[in-house]
A and B are shown apart, each in its own frame.
Chain A
Amino acid sequence: MPAQDVQEIRQLVARRKRWDKVFAILGLLSMMVGVMTLLALIIDMGIDGGGRLSWDFFTSYPSRHAERAGILSAWVGTALVMLVTAAAAIPLGVMAGIYLEEYAPRNWLTNLMEINVTNLAAVPSIVYGLLALGLFVYQLDFGQSILSAGLTLALMILAVVIVVTREAIRGIPAAIREGSYALGATKWQTVKDHLLPYSMGRILTGIIIGMASAIGETAPLITMGALTFIAFLPPAPVESGFPYLSFDWLFAPFTVMPIQMFNWVSRPQAAFLENAAAAGFVLLGMTLAMNALAIWLRFRFRKRGNW
């Protein structure tokens, strides 16, 4: 090849590589915007509320005296509501996802259902609050309880669970599925022995990310009528006498972390703002912990199934 051509190629490569660099810088900047915002949030809340973070803060009920107030009822409420949400959304969503992906006949009715599911994800959360008020609180008479709240958030993340389940199952190569059927497996055997186990990592990840977004939801719960000031805990789920387990807590009034924050923020005294920041810090910690769990799960399951 003549030397001149080589020169030309080099120039061409150099020119194209300039765009590489430009994009790398733009990408880096965009990423920094996200990362910096998160960092700033954490630091800001840490500075504002860090002073309030103590053991007492976690074990005290809210109070009219800012320095004595804590988040006991709020974090217990959040934990219990999330428990109900998970217990309702996971089986419903996973089963619906499996049905749509594996069992549903391909026809207009299925298409209609699919469109509905997709739209479900786009419904504003406050609308779920209205639905919950009408359906769970009044129609089914669950009251403004942990059960109603958990079910409301479950409905909210149901679409996400269905979609991640379908996508996880769809991600399994047809060859694996055919391998199972070719051995004479039934549909259900194929689902339970292959499709579900191999996609579990991705399904769980999606569910946890859905839950992490639900944990901070305030609007639907306030619409539904959650209380903003609760100075007691729901009844314990375990009892000393027969039948040892109690589900009374499901029907107890409650508050959750973001509502507690909302309550504090709306007070005029600066000391309550400090509390709100501290609670925000804790809530953020909860969300990040859930995301970390999701990452860990994905990592664990990836080591198992990889094709």
Chain B
Amino acid sequence: MDETLNKLYFRSLVDSEREEAPTPEAHDLRKLKAEAKGLSFYYGEVAALKAVNLPVAEHQVTALIGPSGCGKSTFLRAVNRMHDLYPGSRYEGGIRFYPDDIDLLDKDVDPIEVRMRIGMVFQKPNPFPKSVFDNVAYGLRVRGERNRRLLVEKVEQALRDAALWAEVKDRLDDMALNLSGGQQQRLCIARALATEPELLLFDEPTSALDPIATASIEDLIQGLKARVTILIVTHNMQQAARVSDYTAFMYLGELVEFAPTKTLFTNPSDRRTENYLTGRFG
């Protein structure tokens, strides 16, 4: 179903001389959730992202891979305006967000509104030092939800969606910090899911976890995409191959190649992608 989308993007990226943005009919907007257009990002004077173009298809998993320091986290944190928390950084270009077609980086778009629509799961599990329940309920409470029954309902649903319910249903009042690392990470996923975000960002969500916890989170991500669009950063190429529909390869702040995961892994068009995939650097 995404054949046209792929082909067009694939071509537009390879053909990097082409300056103008893709024409509206170049891809089906209904199928896109977000799209970085000429996104550059600077920490002070240092450019961490250089004119990145990246489409994120709705209800699909898009993986970002690339060697350490290539700007994957920087990209992800631009999407939910995390960089706004720290002074001295600067964006150029934009990130369109659909269906309402706003620019997430627009000065007039409130970063809080952006973060209410886009959830994030971090590399290291970061539960709040509160109870399991309060962790998952926090996003709802931030939105002013006070109805206890509704909170209970939504917390349970989120924990079920994060495949954690069975393990914690009897210890909802326990400190979240007493959970295991894998459980904590699923708790953070539940916390992000509870507010029903449209797009969920994962920044190497399994790099601090053992293989079993990793597998359970990968299953989870697969299961979630029916409900939410997913953009995941990973160091682990096998993981990208396992969980994602599309993969983007980044190198030194540039987006080198974007393609359906299968294509990118079996038939990369750029030498740098190939070198990375075959382990010649990174």
| Residues of chain A at the chain B interface (Cβ within 8 Å) | 105-106, 173, 175-186, 189, 193-194, 198, 304-307
Assess the A182–B195 pair: CB atoms within 8 A: no
Assess the A306–B138 pair: CB atoms within 8 A: no
Assess the A178–B126 pair: CB atoms within 8 A: yes
List the one stretch of B17-25, B79-87, B89-97 in contact with chain A.
B79-87
Residues of A within 8 A of B82 (CB): 178, 181-182
Assess the A182–B120 pair: CB atoms within 8 A: yes
Residues of A within 8 A of B112 (CB): 184-186
Q: Is B142 an interface residue (CB 8 A)?
A: yes
Given contacts A183-B142, A184-B115, A189-B142, 15 further A-B contacts (CB under 8 A): A105-B87, A106-B87, A173-B126, A176-B128, A176-B129, A181-B85, A182-B82, A183-B138, A183-B191, A184-B143, A184-B195, A185-B112, A186-B142, A193-B138, A304-B129
- Contact of A185 with B142 at beta-carbon distance under 8 Å, contacts A106-B87, A306-B177, A307-B177 already known: yes
Instruction: Name B108-163 residues within 8 Å CB distance of A.
Output: 112-113, 115-116, 119-120, 122, 124, 126-129, 138-139, 142-143
Q: Is B192 an interface residue (CB 8 A)?
A: yes
| Residues of chain B at the chain A interface (Cβ within 8 Å) | 80, 82, 85, 87-88, 112-113, 115-116, 119-120, 122, 124, 126-129, 138-139, 142-143, 175, 177, 188, 191-192, 195
Q: In the docked arrangement, what's the CA distance between A184 and B82, Å? A: 11
Pick the contact of B139: A176, A177, A183, A307 (CB < 8 A): A183
Assess the A179–B139 pair: CB atoms within 8 A: no
Residues of B within 8 A of A106 (CB): 87-88
Question: What are 5 inter-chain pairs, A to B, with CB distance below 8 A?
Answer: A175-B124, A180-B128, A181-B115, A184-B142, A307-B129
Q: In the docked arrangement, what's the CA distance between A106 and B89, Å? A: 13
Assess the A182–B177 pair: CB atoms within 8 A: no
Q: What's the dominant secondary structure at chain A's contact region?
A: helix
Q: In the docked arrangement, what's the CA distance between A185 and B115, Å? A: 8
A277 → B minimal CB distance (Å): 46
Assess the B124–A194 pair: CB atoms within 8 A: no
Residues of B within 8 A of A177 (CB): 85
- Contact of A182 with B128 at beta-carbon distance under 8 Å, contacts A175-B122, A306-B177 already known: no
A143 → B minimal CB distance (Å): 47
- Contact of A176 with B138 at beta-carbon distance under 8 Å, contacts A181-B115, A306-B177 already known: no
Q: In the docked arrangement, what's the CA distance between A193 and B87, Å? A: 23
Residues of B within 8 A of A181 (CB): 82, 85, 115
Q: In the docked arrangement, what's the CA distance between A184 and B143, Å? A: 8
Among A179, A193, A305, A306, residue most surrounded by chain B Cβ atoms (within 10 Å) = A179
Residues of A within 8 A of B113 (CB): 184
B94 → A minimal CB distance (Å): 21
A186 → B minimal CB distance (Å): 6
For residue A183, which residue of chain B has the nearest CB?
Answer: B139
Residues of B within 8 A of A305 (CB): 129
A297 → B minimal CB distance (Å): 16
Q: In the docked arrangement, what's the CA distance between A106 and B44, Å? A: 14
Q: In the docked arrangement, what's the CA distance between A181 and B122, Å? A: 12
A261 → B minimal CB distance (Å): 44
B91 → A minimal CB distance (Å): 17
Assess the A306–B129 pair: CB atoms within 8 A: yes
A178 → B minimal CB distance (Å): 6
A206 → B minimal CB distance (Å): 20
B154 → A minimal CB distance (Å): 13
- Contact of A178 with B85 at beta-carbon distance under 8 Å, contacts A193-B138, A307-B177 already known: yes
Pick the contact of B119: A183, A185, A306 (CB < 8 A): A183
Q: In the docked arrangement, what's the CA distance between A306 and B122, Å? A: 19
Residues of A within 8 A of B80 (CB): 182
Query: Which 10 residue pairs of A and B lie closest in terms of their CB atoms, listed nearest first?
Result: A184-B116, A175-B126, A305-B129, A183-B139, A182-B120, A184-B115, A179-B126, A185-B142, A106-B87, A184-B142
Q: In the docked arrangement, what's the CA distance between A178 and B125, Å? A: 12
Assess the A178–B122 pair: CB atoms within 8 A: yes
Residues of B within 8 A of A189 (CB): 142
Residues of B within 8 A of A186 (CB): 112, 142
Residues of A within 8 A of B124 (CB): 175
Assess the B195–A183 pair: CB atoms within 8 A: yes
Q: In the docked arrangement, what's the CA distance between A189 and B87, Å? A: 20
For residue B135, which residue of chain A has the nearest CB?
Answer: A179
Among A178, A194, A198, residue most surrounded by chain B Cβ atoms (within 10 Å) = A178
Among A105, A177, A184, residue most surrounded by chain B Cβ atoms (within 10 Å) = A184
Assess the A182–B138 pair: CB atoms within 8 A: no
Residues of A within 8 A of B129 (CB): 176, 198, 304-307
B109 → A minimal CB distance (Å): 13
Residues of B within 8 A of A175 (CB): 122, 124, 126
For residue A305, which residue of chain B has the nearest CB?
Answer: B129
Assess the B87–A182 pair: CB atoms within 8 A: no
